A and B are shown apart, each in its own frame.
Chain A
């Protein structure tokens, strides 16, 4: 049984259904990331866990106890808000201690707890300042301090890093991960940034239009997306999704990718699942991640099934650590990820290796995964 369970949760504002039958759970000490595009309902889901929004139907349980009717302060949770939501009229110390003050904890005990948290987050020297005198990163720490000091059963983070600049965001991301490893408290974390989701989570829930698309470990979500939305949403650069046809060569299935001004690329799918044979002669969507499409020297030596073919390179984008090359397959630009020093020129033809073990196939009509 999971520590935090969300069971068939529905949430409507008036006649608009925001969350549609979401069911998921996270084990104690887990790090659940809710990810999805704007308006997918991820923040609403977090707010219902916090108790800041009432739910329409379904059940939320923390440690086996139903919390639907409980006031936010009674759910044993703490929340870090996107805007940090520091009380502007109080000092940092008062901000962190406010919850304890409300609960009537004696001053000495409060000061001790504040000092402990301040030391943990290295904000001891800021305790007497007002939030307006802090930088973005410092405010972020104070907001986390206010959550940490409660020692809750579940931490809720609502896009906590999105107001920070790029470098600080990565630092704080590492810091949050370190804190989690140290405190081992269950965390639910909302973000629209799929890289944050991948790096932090033990479990990811991908939401779209209030419907849970996929729930699994980061590796599952990344390598085995259940539909085209998840495949496209997770990963940067995004997975290449190319219209293709399943053909036949002897007893083997092949995948045919159309090319402008040349014969189609035909890739043999030896040992491909039987699910694909049913699609012979039909249109599918062929999905391959940029790192599974690379120069022959950079290809994964351990991969079971590599196919190399010549492709016309349209654009080359050196990115320092890698070089991205764009070729045209099936009428779409397809991004390949090459070694940084790969010798490749735009306008020329170069061999590219497809790691077909990593390839996925979708039905173009339903957008669901076939194989």
Chain B
């Protein structure tokens, strides 16, 4: 009796599995469709798009729209392409991510391993920063940037992003270090290690997964930010999100959809790359073997 029922069970398993996969593939296709449309249309001449078949593959392949979006397209008043703004974004994102990650790690370290009276209140207030709608702080921020002489500059944007990222980075690191064995810190104290030595030699080497999480989160948020970028930048500090908007809205006659598609992909590319490159470091359990096994 057991043999036939086993057989049925296996066959049922295959059917269910096939169904699940079919459904998953369907959703994946559905989800990837916009990207497909963007990619194929960015590789077509404008005439082909005007014929109206958005889903068709290009009859005549061309990378001209990409070159145009990168270096010659009209953005606002100047035909510079997205290149200078892409650089602005890089100059803004890299320091902002680095600063907010390092400070978040230090905050998490202090809030879990160097507890002080009222530490939870401080942490609660930092958390609040995660939930404040940014629109509320626009005017005070503008005022402070003005007072600091950083208005309309890349360092000003770095400052704003670093500060508003701190709430989340602190949250990430605090929760991660909460589970980090305090005995390791105590052992290091007895070994004579200082505050920063403990941080650098003991905690940081074990923080790989949370650093990756934080960097991905911060990079995506800051790179994709439009509100601060459009509010606090001037001509030579405009980030790519704002430039993309300007590219699409610059009206010099015809709307070059293929260039717009290429520009949008260019603007999204870095976050995509960050995910693909560092996503696999997510899962590593670096703490194995620290304490009892």
Contacts and interface: CB of A to CB of B under 8 A. Distances in A.
A9 to B, nearest CB: 19
B190 A72 contact: yes
A85 B186 CA distance: 9
Given A77-B190, A99-B192, A103-B192, A132 B183 contact: no
Contacts of B286: 88-89
A133 B187 CA distance: 20
A87 B184 contact: yes
Interface residues of A, number: 32
A85 B183 contact: yes
B288 interface: yes
B222 to A, nearest CB: 29
Interface string B195-238: 00100011001100000000000000000000000000000000
Nearest to B293: A136
Interface string A76-94: 0111011111111100000
B293 A89 contact: no
Given A88-B289, A132-B289, A139-B293, A81 B183 contact: yes
Interface in B243-258: none
A102 B205 contact: no
A50 B187 CA distance: 10
Nearest to A104: B192
B192 A132 contact: no
Most chain A CB within 10 A, of B187, B193, B201, is at B187
Nearest to A79: B190
Given A88-B288, A130-B289, A139-B293, A83 B181 contact: yes
Nearest to B185: A85
Nearest to B189: A72
B292 A163 contact: yes
Contacts of A139: 292-293
A77 B192 CA distance: 11
Given A82-B183, A85-B183, A89-B206, A52 B289 contact: no
Contacts of A52: 186, 189-190
Nearest to B204: A89
Contacts, number: 86
B291 interface: yes
Interface string A50-67: 101000000000000000
Contacts of B183: 81-83, 85
Given A85-B181, A89-B206, A79 B293 contact: no
Interface string A174-204: 0000000000000000000000000000000
B289 A78 contact: no
Contacts of A136: 292-293
A73 B190 contact: yes
A134 B289 contact: yes
B289 A131 contact: yes
A78 B190 CA distance: 7
Nearest to A77: B190
A49 to B, nearest CB: 11
Contact of B292 (A83, A87, A89): A83
Contact of A84 (B186, B205, B206, B292): B292
A135 B184 CA distance: 18
Contacts of A47: 186
Interface in A85-123: 85-89, 98-99, 102-103
A67 to B, nearest CB: 13
A84 B189 CA distance: 14
Contact of A73 (B191, B288, B289): B191
Given A52-B186, A81-B183, A86 B192 contact: no
Contacts of B202: 87, 89
Given A84-B291, A134-B289, A89 B205 contact: yes
B289 A79 contact: no
A135 B293 CA distance: 8
B187 A85 contact: yes
Most chain B CB within 10 A, of A79, A81, A85, is at A85
Q: Which 10 A-B pairs have the closest CB atoms?
A: A132-B289, A73-B192, A99-B191, A89-B205, A88-B290, A83-B291, A85-B183, A85-B187, A163-B292, A81-B183
21 contacts: A72-B190, A79-B186, A81-B183, A81-B186, A81-B187, A84-B292, A85-B181, A85-B183, A85-B184, A87-B187, A87-B202, A88-B184, A88-B290, A89-B206, A98-B193, A99-B191, A102-B193, A102-B197, A132-B293, A133-B289, A136-B293
Given A87-B202, A88-B206, A99-B192, 14 more contacts: A71-B189, A72-B189, A73-B190, A79-B187, A84-B292, A85-B181, A89-B286, A102-B193, A102-B197, A131-B290, A132-B289, A134-B289, A139-B292, A139-B293
